[in-house]
Homo-oligomer: A and B are copies of this chain.
Amino acid sequence: MKTVDEKGTKALRNTASTATLEMVAARAGVSPSTVSRVLNGTAVVSSVKRNAVGAAIAELGFVPNPVARGLAGGRTLSVGVVAPSIDSPFYGVVLRGIEEELSRAGYSPLIASSRFDATEEQHCIEVLRSRRVDGIILLDGGLSVRVLRAHAKVLPMVITGRHLKAPNLCGLHFDNIEGGRLATQHLIELGHRHIAFITGDARHPDANERLAGYCAALKEAGLELNPALVIPGLFHEASGLAAVERLLDSGERFSAIFAANDQMALGAALGLHRHSMRIPQDVSLVGYDDIAIALYSTPPLSTVRQSGYEVGQLAAAAMLKMVAGEKPLVKLPPPKFIARESTCAAVDA
């Protein structure tokens, strides 16, 4: 981290809030309206005046005040983001992707946390709207399509985790079925026949789709689905740990575990460790998401990559398109299996 001193002090002086649009107008010898027009490209302005305004802006170091813009009915250059949790390994990088993409365009995110509760989520949206955000990005919310549509009547909405294509409403959705299939296929190819699956929170579409992918892969391979090997989880580490305990208690035979996300896989890894079962020698383990720490778990976790950073970036880019009045065209990358060290060939293959 570099140290800023003289530089910082200097920057302090010509701070954004000093110059106003009115001062720019005076300096350029035009009316405030004209300045506003060149700023927003909202009308054709003669090149002479346009240049004069440009020069005045540069000389004064003028930066439009987003607050005033917001009040005047224009854009606030801010977009609301409601995340179920701001400090999860997955949503954290999604937020980073959003923040970077947005700030590159001069926009700021206004982040609110719904704590995995739809009522809170609704409240967050209201708060954000009262702050005049130009649009709202919802990360995996629990709101119905009807409610979403209603919001989209008022301002552009981007929502992840769902397929949706209504006016002013854009859904970003990974192919979780394919991802679930990929992970399961990998295990099957390694010779595993008894593959346990730790589900995610069933209220989450992603969770059910990954399960569907697991089932599909088994079926394609002609393997029977053993319901006793499907253990409910809740997407967090503790539930992964508990799932392994249940699995072991059940006495069912298994040589591999596929957890519906990395956090549960990490919990499962600890559970196996507690019972002195080695990964992957005794049990192969696969997660989902490829969160940052997956690379540094011991052993490094094989997983399905679903880049949170990209989700964030694409969601922000879609929002930027929408506020610009253009149609967003989002194409999410397909899920990809990442083989690391938590999987190996089944011994009883």
A interface vs B, CB < 8 Å? Answer: 1-5, 7-9, 11-12, 15-17, 63, 65-68, 70-71, 76, 78, 84-89, 92-93, 95-96, 99-100, 103, 108-113, 116-119, 121-122, 126-127, 129-132, 141-144, 146-147, 150-151, 201, 203-204, 237, 241, 266-267, 269-270, 273, 292-293, 295-300
B65/A130 in contact, CB under 8 A = yes
Contact of A87 among B67, B93, B129, B273 (CB under 8 A): B93
Query: Complex formed: what's the CA distance from A15 to B63 in Å?
Result: 31
- Cβ contact within 8 Å between A68 and B66: no
Tell me the minimal C-beta distance from A141 to chain B in angstroms.
8
Shortest beta-carbon distance from A274 to chain B in Å: 9
Report chain B residues within 8 Å CB of A3.
118, 142-144, 203
A150 near B92 with CB under 8 A, answer: no
Expressed in whole angstroms, the Cα–Cα distance for A119 and B6 within the complex equals: 12
Residues in B whose Cβ lies below 8 Å from that of A269: 296, 298
A130 partner residues in chain B, CB cutoff 8 A = 15-17, 63, 65-66
What are 13 pairs between A and B in contact, CB < 8 Å?
Answer: A4-B143, A16-B130, A17-B132, A66-B131, A67-B131, A85-B96, A99-B113, A108-B110, A108-B131, A110-B110, A111-B111, A237-B295, A270-B299
**Min CB distance, A259 to chain B, in Å?**
12
Residue among A8, A65, A100, A203 with the highest chain B CB neighbour number at 10 A: A8
Residues of B within 8 A of A85 (CB): 96
Shortest CB–CB separation between residue A216 and chain B, in angstroms? 25
Cβ-neighbour of A122 out of B4, B87, B117 (below 8 A): B4
User: Could you say which of A68, A87, A151, A237 has the most chain B C-beta atoms within 10 Å of its C-beta?
Assistant: A87
Beyond A4-B122, A16-B127, 12 additional contacts (C-beta under 8 Å) are A1-B116, A8-B146, A15-B130, A16-B126, A17-B132, A65-B130, A108-B131, A110-B110, A237-B292, A266-B296, A270-B296, A298-B298
Bound CA–CA A127/B64 (angstroms): 11
Closest chain B CB from A104 CB (angstroms): 12
Min C-beta distance of A149 to chain B, whole Å:
10
Q: Cβ of B116 and Cβ of A8 under 8 Å apart?
A: no
A267: B residues at CB distance < 8 A: 296
Complex Cα–Cα for A241 and B119 (A): 43
Q: Output the nearest chain B residue to A14 by Cβ-Cβ distance.
A: B126
Please state if B100 and A5 are interface contacts (CB–CB under 8 Å). Answer: no
A68 touching B71 by the CB < 8 A rule? Answer: yes
Given A12-B151, A65-B130, A86-B95, check contact A144 B5 (CB 8 Å): yes
Closest to A123 in B: B11
Known contacts A67-B67, A92-B92, A129-B15; A1 and B84 CB within 8 A of each other: yes
- Within 8 Å by CB of A270, from B78, B84, B300, lies B300
Determine the chain B residues whose CB is within 8 A of the CB of A99 once the complex forms. Answer: 86, 111-113
Whether A95 touches B103, Cβ cut-off 8 Å, given contacts A5-B147, A16-B130, A110-B108, is: no
Query: Considering the chains assembled together, what is the distance between the CA atoms of A110 and B269 in angstroms?
Result: 37
In the assembled complex, the Cα of A85 lies from the Cα of B93 at a distance in Å of 10
Contacts of A7 in B (CB 8 A): 119, 122
Once A12-B151, A67-B70, A126-B11 are accepted as A-B contacts, the answer to whether A117 and B299 lie under 8 Å apart by CB is: no
